[in-house]
């Protein structure tokens, strides 16, 4: 499990970013220009592709994705598990970004919005 990193300038979450020219892994803020070199240069590439009908598998893959940040500060409304993956995405038919959580319990995979 990866440790979450936060931007020193605006305190937002830093996300892994591959610098292919220099062959290094960076952590970059999506809200400002802050970047920092990762302690480990191992690059994880998420190449998950699913059709719309495979939602259950997509949620399991999201919960297992080591690049997504995790939290133990919220509990799953379905199974009460205490760990979830969270990410921002555009909700279908809506504008702007929404914060989504996916339960890390392999037998649950429940998804909810903040």
* pLDDT, tens only, 41-52: 665 554 444 444
Half-sphere exposure of residue 64: CA atoms within 13 angstroms, side-chain side = 13
Tell me: do 85 and 101 sit in the same domain: yes
Tell me: do 56 and 93 sit in the same domain: yes
Binding site residues, as ranges? 7, 10, 29, 32, 76, 79, 103, 108
85's CB contacts (< 8 A; 6+ apart) are 62, 63, 65, 68, 69, 70, 101, 102, 104
CB 41 within 8 A of CB 35: no
> What is the number of domains present in the chain?
2
CATH code, 20: 2.20.25.10
Q: Walk along the chain (114 residues) in steps of 10 and give the mean pLDDT of each run.
A: 74 82 84 85 51 52 78 88 82 72 84 76
Tell me: do 56 and 33 sit in the same domain: no
Which H or E run contains 64? helix 55-64
What is the reported pTM?
0.48
Binding site residues for Zn(2+), as ranges? 7, 10, 29, 32, 76, 79, 103, 108
- Residue 67 is part of which domain span? 52-113
Tell me: do 41 and 61 sit in the same domain: no
* 2 phi/psi in degrees, rounded to 5: -85, 155
């Amino acid at each position: 499990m990866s440790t979450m990193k936060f931007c020193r300038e605006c305190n937002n979450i830093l996300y892994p970013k591959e610098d292919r020219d220099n062959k290094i892994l960076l952590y970059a803020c999506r809200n400002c220009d802050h970047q920092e070199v990762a302690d480990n240069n191992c690059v994880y590439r998420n190449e998950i592709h699913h059709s719309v009908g495979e939602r259950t598998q997509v949620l399991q893959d999201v919960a297992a994705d080591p690049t997504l940040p995790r939290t133990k500060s919220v509990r799953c409304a379905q199974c009460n598990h205490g760990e979830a993956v969270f990410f921002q995405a555009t909700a279908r038919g809506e504008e702007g970004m929404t914060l989504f959580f996916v339960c890390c319990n392999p037998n649950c995979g429940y998804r909810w919005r903040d």
